[in-house]
Copies of this chain bind each other. A is one copy, B any other.
Amino acid sequence: MSTTCDPEVKVIYREPETLSGTSMRYCPGCTHGIAHRLVAEAVEELGLGDRTIALASVGCSVFAYEYFGLDSIQVSHGRAPAVATGVKRTRPENIVFSYQGDGDLASIGMSEVIHAAGRAENITVVFINNGVFGMTQGQMAPTTLLGMKTTTTPRGRDAEANGLPMQICELLATLPGVAYLARETMISPRHVRAAKKSIKKAFEAQVACAGFSLVELVSTCPTWWGKSPMEAAEWLEQEMLPQYPLGVFKDWTEGQK
């Protein structure tokens, strides 16, 4: 019987190795950081770190190629699903995901995401819906709520003048090429855990060659919403979620069960 006190250390949480360890340039409390972490954790837990390629789109997350500890490609604004297609069709053994904002995906990149989904392209998209163009200083996004003030809707978004909020999951759900589709958020530990589960499922769909997968993450932009991170989370719950209800829109494994 030993009386030495060799400490046994069990890690409850540590940074995933699929992150590069570089500190991130996001504003304080911006959920981009959580989303990055979840993606990195999912990739690591699925053992895909050695063969996953990250695509950083144009938006606040443009530097994602610095943050992920993965082979990475920075791509042009909105075209990530096309680039991902080019990568995946050339290197089907790799896991390819794009990380895109709502300006990137739902505004300029609408065509590319729909066609990639329509082709049942075996790629995964992480879609950050924060209702605003963060990087360019808070202009309206297609996802901006009606009435919401942005730098290009100084009087609040008006349906007639500026169009209606675009619901990406609802739109993509109609396409048979989509294997996994879910909308999540990250405003509480419970939501974060659900988001991670969906992100994992999305990658699993790709591993199984089941088709296109996308997880929309309803996110905060404390800076351009003019709110503290905690306030932003509350506002998100009250204002964003009614327009962007959470849920799993498509799950290819459901049919299998």
Residues of chain A touching chain B, judged by Cβ–Cβ distance below 8 Å, are 107-111, 114-115, 118-121, 142, 159-160, 162-164, 166-167, 170-171, 173-177
Contact = CB atoms under 8 A, between A and B. Distances in A.
A159 B121 CA distance: 10
A118 B163 contact: yes
Contact of A164 (B107, B118, B170, B173): B118
Nearest to A78: B111
Contact of A176 (B115, B118, B164): B164
Contact of A174 (B107, B121, B174, B177): B174
A167 B174 contact: yes
Contact of A163 (B111, B119, B162): B119
A204 B228 CA distance: 48
A159 B120 contact: yes
A142 B176 CA distance: 13
Given A120-B164, A163-B120, A177-B163, A171 B114 contact: yes
